[in-house]
Structure 1
Amino acid sequence: MYRKSLFCWFLSSATQQFDTGPQIRDWLRESRNTPLLSAKSLSNWVLLYTGEYVINARALLRSLHRVTPTMGITMRSARMYEVNDDPRSYIDTLRDCVTPHTDMVVCVLPDGEKYRYNEIKRFLCIHCPVPSQCVIAETLIPGSTLLTITTKIVQQMNCKMGGALWKVETGLQKTMFIGIDCFHDIINRQKSIAGFVASTNEELTKWCSQCVFQEPGQELVDGLSSCLEAALDSWFRNVQEQPDSVVVYRDGVGDGQLQALLDHEIPQLVNLLRKRQVKLTFIVVKKRINTRFFVECQEHLYNPPSGTVIDAALTREEWYDFYIVSQFSKHGTVTPTHYNVIYDTVCLDPDTVQRLTYKLCHMYYNFPGIIRVPAPCHYAHKLAYFVGQNIQQEPHNSLSDCLYYL
């Protein structure tokens, strides 16, 4: 079996670089103590809380004042409103206090009750579109972990407002990266949701998010042309020229559906890209696999280090495929991810595709560490799940250029 390693990369914040070697689990501390790559100001924002948890809301404000300066975020005082725990109270208050100039809405919730959360998010994503952050009051108890929790909250809020936390150099010029995944409500048999998320600048710090409503259980996606066209328009607004190539990571399909992708999804993309003379690489991502790899050392077996690639012996001769162990784990067995390039006119060599794929696993802003799949792939999963599980309607188009669903 042939094994090679891809580590390590240097992540860039606004003022410095920090490395991610094979034993680095996360970089939360580094990201908290340096200015964010693109920090958004909290100039006009509102905070809703119930009277029972006013102490928790004030604890959040104190922590925000402590962590935002080092992250480069300018924060003005919030407009605070007391509500009761009924969803209607939150929505009526939001209807009165949110304006077109509101940057962010923060709701301190008394508990994790799903109906209340869904109603608030539905209102703020569809009827009154504004980035929002919901926080359960119990997580805001003053103590040793509050600053860490607040750091994660601030990072989420910054991304939802269109900011960026860090970046990694991909080595490719003028390349758009796209993730596609589907959510199926197998319990209520509601419509399936396809998430389509595309990078819209060369640094992978801006994203365009679209969703497609489909028949229950439908996996193959219709409407990819309109999603891609919206993403290309967003790219052009940011870069002032079109990309030379597009790399798609498609999650959620099995080996038996590869031909269906070639027949149904890829032609939708190719027909549009060919008119614009843009090249395409289409990669199928598989997480649900039984394959495991180990490193033998002194007659003991260990998990492979993060960045390990297997692209021979256990791969198939008729495929352009490989495995990557992207995550680091000291406990249990780490699960690799399988990648299969089923369409390629960009003509990247295998080493470049593998390094690129591993680098993208560092770019998911909801976790300061390495994830199992490339960031656009996981963003698409989060988007499809959020829309299908929580708001169940198409989000307002004004939110499409920010990661409002994190």
Structure 2
Amino acid sequence: MPIILRANYYKVNAVPDWALCLYRVDFSPDEERTFVKKELLRQHASVLGNYIFDGNQLYVARLLPQDPLELTSKRHDTGDPYLVKIRFIKEIPASDTLFLQIFSILLRRCYEYLGLTQVGRNYYNSHEEVQNQKYRVAIWPGNVSSIRQHENGILMRFVTGKQLLGLVVMTRYNQRTYRVDDIAWNLTAISKFSCQGQEITYLDYYEKTYQVKIKDPYQPLLLSKPRKRDLRRGQGNIYLIPELCVPTGLSDDMRSDYNLMRDFSEYTRMSPDKRVASLRRFNTRLFENQKVKAELKQWGLDFSQVLTNVRGRVLPGEMVMQSSHSFVYQSSEPDWGKDIKDVPVNVAQNVTNWVLVVPGRLRKEAEELMAGLKKIGRALGITFNNPSLQLLQQDTAQDYIRALRNCSAVMLVVCILPNARLDRYAAVKKHVSAIMGTPSQMVLAKSMQNKARQVSILQKIALQINCKLGGEIWNLQIPFQNTMVVGYDTYHDSARKGASWGAVVASFNKNLTRYYGQVLRHANQEELTANFCTAIQNSLCHYAEVNGCLPERVLVYRDGVGEGQLAYVKGTEIAAIKACFAANQFSPRFSFIVVSKRINTRLFAQGSRSGNPINPPPGTVCDDVITLPERYDFYLVSQRVTQGTVTPTSYNILEDVNSNLDADRHQRLAYKLTYLYYNWMGPVRVPAPCLYAHKLAYITGQAIHDVPHQELCDKLWYL
């Protein structure tokens, strides 16, 4: 069905028809603060004329009278003299992609006219901060924007809302952000360092340079290590005064605090109508500002003040089949839980030989769990025999593991845990997953104590156990034969700095519901690519072993790829996979799709009754206007969102060799796959293989820190 959408993009109505001249600007003595360098250069506006300056490079609309051009400036606050040297680099025609970067710099200048504060790459309105005294947190309204060439012209994208920054610190004196890597206990504010050939204490440096007096001279310093690009410029470690820093973002403890995150959602989750209203307010504030209007006029730029209209389509709801029961998912419903309540699963795995490990003081909860699983299992067609009950005197990780060492040849381990302590969970999970090679289910005691939700919790546990043992809950109509879909994602190892885990899951049945999963640790891109290809080859071998033939079609859905990594993925990962196919004299129909969910594009539909902006329904596809001309890409809204504005998922098809799949089929298949994630009774945001790969990489990097047992490869043990 066709649908008219609006996107958070504004059309660039007019662009300049002249060329830009690019110059490099150096200061003597050296100056790091961009706002000071801009102040020093601003003193020569009459000589430079209309210009853009980002702190290092200068863009002007004409050649300057001399090359190099040397000018002298003075600091307004201290009177210190500076020599400003401007050297010509090149001329940039309007057809150059760098031209769009100039627009972005110009836009940042306009933000400064509005008094916005730059933190990292984005801009925030500190004057409209929201204070939360309960948690001692301040939230700043933020803005993210970009300008680039899209299908039919140049568009500017805006995202507004309350933004929570990453976990870094911001320095009060210049509002720059730094990642804290360590604490330099051996250094204090009275320690000395070399500055312009002289030794000076940090205390004196900050007072002289920033006019800031440090109250505690003996506080240890924070260490921020340079990034790779900073190392290439010769920059060393950066030491910060804790007193002059404020933390930004949320810690892991804060993110795990349900009440805190619920309170924050009031500010961070904006409904579609409020988000559109916010975009309009910011647009009006920006383009009605007299300084901004004058600036844009000088540069020959004009922006639309109306959100871009986009034609989209709504794919039909999918037929979900569970045993003899089938239904079409209606997007008006949050999920299909009520449709499959007490309906037998497609493929049941009877639980005949299992062990239940529980502290003795939680025996009542254990008995309720056993009785509940038997009752729920009968409705789902799953038989639960009585388990071997292991009662613990204490509830330490060592007590659980000692009990499990006495259990051999069991098909399932279930543990009731008194609380959600990660160290105990990780130790037990590692033992059963890496050493025993047995699927396991961890149950919190409070879940069994929640009488109001006990039945729904027991149903979810029974369904998870069935999947972990190799069962199938529901399926969809999949039109393809002999097809293998692959999901790939990575997750950093929380216990080993610099190491990551790459997880590959690959389907090996017709319904695309059973997956062969592998996870390997890597330290760099080369190891990642090698492991990826090895996992693909192992997956093909497993597929052939199960089905008696290799798949005719292979589709890889790759998550966790940033904008700057696309060229690497295409030139290295895809090339390596194709080389793997060739080495095995195998030439399948091959597609490689990059899936991105952390994007700033937003889509809005129009409410049929109110006329106000609402979230598009699940199945909404957009593949025109806001997509990119150099890509084979589309946006898909697959999930139903009841709070805030839905974020579409971006699909970028990097490779499509003899697939015989047009755009519609790619879109339909992606939407079908969002129905096949068994931990949620409804479509999810990304294809199921991507989410399975994420779960596998996450549990390995967060808890297990080891390669899982080979016996678990063909099971969804990580749900």
TM-score by length of 1: 0.96
Matched, 1:112 2:420: yes
Matched, 1:381 2:694: yes
Q: Residue 648 of structure 2 corresponds to which residue in structure 1? A: 336
Deviations 1:90-125 (A, max 9, x none): 11111102x22x111100001111111111111111
Alignment match of 2:596 (pick from 272, 280, 286)? 286
Distance 1:168 1:115 in 2: 39
Distance 2:603 2:486 in 1: 28
Matched, 1:162 2:470: yes
Matched, 1:53 2:362: yes
Contact kept, 8 Å, 1:23 with 1:306, in 2: the verdict is no
Cα drift, residue 186 of structure 1: 6.9
Contact kept, 8 Å, 1:200 with 1:208, in 2: the verdict is yes
Show structure 1 runs of 5+ residues with no match: none
SS of equivalent to 1:249: strand
Deviations 1:132-176 (A, max 9, x none): 001110110162310100011111111111111111122122110
Q: Which runs of 4+ in 1 moved over 6 A?
A: 216-219
Q: Residue 66 of structure 1 corresponds to which residue in structure 2? A: 375
Aligned 1:1-150 pairs, distance under 5 A: 1-83=310-392, 84-97=394-407, 99-100=408-409, 102-141=410-449, 143-150=451-458
> How many residue pairs get matched?
404
Distance 2:323 2:577 in 1: 35
Deviations 1:357-394 (A, max 9, x none): 00100000111111100000011111111111110011
SS of equivalent to 2:379: coil
Amino acid at match of 2:678: Y
Cα drift, residue 221 of structure 1: 3.1
Aligned 1:271-282 pairs, distance under 5 A: 271-274=579-582, 275-282=585-592
Amino acid at match of 2:416: V
Show structure 2 runs of 5+ residues with no match: 1-309
Q: Residue 372 of structure 1 corresponds to which residue in structure 2? A: 685
Contact kept, 8 Å, 1:59 with 1:141, in 2: the verdict is no
Deviations 1:219-269 (A, max 9, x none): 953222221121112212222211101001101112221110111111221
Cα drift, residue 77 of structure 1: 0.8
Distance 1:178 1:195 in 2: 10
SS of equivalent to 1:181: strand
SS of equivalent to 2:502: strand
Distance 1:260 1:217 in 2: 9
Q: Residue 234 of structure 1 corresponds to which residue in structure 2? A: 542
Contact kept, 8 Å, 1:36 with 1:166, in 2: the verdict is yes
SS of equivalent to 1:23: coil
Query: Structure 1 residues 355, 189: closer, same or farther in 2, change over 3 A?
Result: same
Cα drift, residue 7 of structure 1: 2.5
Alignment match of 2:666 (pick from 331, 342, 353)? 353
Q: Residue 399 of structure 1 corresponds to which residue in structure 2? A: 712
Distance 2:381 2:498 in 1: 43
Q: Residue 210 of structure 1 corresponds to which residue in structure 2? A: 518
Q: Residue 570 of structure 2 corresponds to which residue in structure 1? A: 262
SS of equivalent to 2:425: helix
Distance 1:189 1:139 in 2: 34
Contact kept, 8 Å, 1:197 with 1:380, in 2: the verdict is yes
Contact kept, 8 Å, 1:25 with 1:370, in 2: the verdict is no
Deviates more, 1:255-264 or 1:148-157: 255-264
Matched, 1:316 2:628: yes
RMSD over aligned CA atoms reads: 1.6
Contact kept, 8 Å, 1:181 with 1:196, in 2: the verdict is yes
Contact kept, 8 Å, 2:506 with 2:516, in 1: the verdict is yes
Deviations 1:11-64 (A, max 9, x none): 111221122122232122333311111110010011011112111111111211
Contact kept, 8 Å, 1:175 with 1:243, in 2: the verdict is yes
Distance 1:77 1:229 in 2: 40
Cα drift, residue 299 of structure 1: 3.2
Contact kept, 8 Å, 1:186 with 1:217, in 2: the verdict is no
Amino acid at match of 1:257: Q
Higher relative contact order (CA closer than 8 Å, sequence separation 6+): 1
Distance 2:390 2:479 in 1: 48
Higher-Rg structure is: 2
Contact kept, 8 Å, 2:374 with 2:385, in 1: the verdict is no
Contact kept, 8 Å, 1:183 with 1:385, in 2: the verdict is yes
Amino acid at match of 2:387: A
Query: Structure 1 residues 107, 178: closer, same or farther in 2, change over 3 A?
Result: same
